[in-house]
Amino acid sequence: MSALSPSRQPRSITSRLSTFFHNNPTLTLLLLLAAPLLWLGVIYLGSLGALLLQSFYRLDDFTGIVVREFTLDTYRQLFTQSNLDIVARTVAMAAAVTVACALLAFPISFYMARYASPAGKVAFFIAVTLPLWSSYLVRVYAWKLILAKEGVVGWIFGALGLQGVLDAVLAVPTIGGPSLSVSMYGTFFAFVYVWLPYMIIPTYTALERVPGSMLEASADLGARPVETFRRVILPLAMPGVIAGSIFTFSLTLGDYIIPGVLGNSAFFIGQVVLIQQGTAGNIPLAAAFTVVPMVIMFVYLWIAGRMGAFEAL
């Protein structure tokens, strides 16, 4: 080396810097990651920590001031029957929305991943993401009109002479109501509609990655299409479906607009959080409520992991 160095040209600062970084990959990585890590650490984890901390404080009912001492009072308050009802209602809705999204997304994604031409795939991506280009509020209000008593859906049922069916559906206790837009059905349809793209895209991506030869191999080894679907396609698509369900499930758990606009005015977690920390000023209870969906998501992912949903990753 030393014998060679005298013959070298004097090198520029940038060239020497490049060499320095090239020879110190760990340092380079640290420098690159510093900003995003700080962001994640402070904004994400920091605020999560603050949230968790808040949930262990309590609101003094008389003074309306948050008492900054460790207590489980707020959680005791959370576990009252009416609040548990809200949690159960929200989780049931999130589960129903997730299952419906998965059932709707799978065939679409499967067709697009396996059979569509390249141009068809582009059209599919645009079609799937198109709703996301317009305001979420506008779309939710559009559903309110579509599902209203005098709306399109009611009219179709009437025109087909199926008014009785609609009335019977709406007469179901707790989920029914005076019209589709003022019942749990309305909440459900709007949720399924707004979150569907978040299920389709990861499902499609997972299916796209399954080589055709794998399906041929399964058939070659004697499996009928149903068996190939169950034993090969479904397990390989599962990580994508789970990824999609994380979106649909957690977005439903936290949303407060859709149940406010469409629904029978039974509360969902998101609405309670909004009310507690806004009008009621009970930040600790709002925080405790926010912890609920997080815990649910952890449990959900743990179960999914135990069931082997991520084995194909």
Partner 1 sequence: MSSAANVIPAVRFENVSRHFDQVRAVDNVSIEIRVGEFFSMLGPSGSGKTTCLRLIAGFEQPTSGKIYLHGTEVGNLPPYERDVNTVFQDYALFPHMTVADNVGYALMIKKVSAPERTRRINEALELVRLPQMANRKPSQLSGGQRQRIALARALVNRPRVLLLDEPLGALDLKLRQEMQIELKEIQKRVGITFVFVTHDQEEALTMSDRIAVFNAGKIEQVGSPAEIYEHPATAFVAGFVGASNLIRDELAQKLTGTASTFSIRPEKIRMMEPGATVPNGWAWVYGTVREVVYLGMFTRFIVTLENGGELTVVRQNLDETSMDVMSNQGRRVQLMWQRAFDRVVDAK
Residue type, 232: V
On the CB side of 38, how many CA atoms lie within 13 Å of its CA? 5
307 binds partner 1, rule: CB under 8 A: no
217 binds partner 1, rule: CB under 8 A: yes
Residue with tokens 């603050």: 50
Rounded to whole angstroms, how far apart are CA atoms 132 and 120?
19
Distance of CA 158 to CAs 142, 155, 161, 164, 192, Å? 20, 5, 5, 9, 24
What are the structure tokens assigned to 169, written together?
């559906």
123 binds partner 1, rule: CB under 8 A: no
Residues 264-280, buried b or exposed e (16+ Cβ, 10 A)? bebbbbbbbbbbbbeee
Q: Of 130 and 219, which has the nearer Cβ to partner 1?
A: 219
Per-residue contact track with partner 1, 171 to 210, x per CB under 8 A? ----------------------------------------
Which among 53-61, 162-170, 222-230, 299-307 is the span making contact with partner 1, rule CB under 8 A?
Answer: 222-230
304 binds partner 1, rule: CB under 8 A: no
119 binds partner 1, rule: CB under 8 A: no
Rounded to whole angstroms, how far apart are CA atoms 264 and 91?
17
Per-residue contact track with partner 1, 227 to 266, x per CB under 8 A? x---xx--xx------------------------------
Which among 9-17, 123-131, 172-180, 219-227 is the span making contact with partner 1, rule CB under 8 A?
Answer: 219-227
Site residues for partner 1 per CB under 8 A:
211, 213-214, 216-224, 227, 231-232, 235-236, 308, 311-312
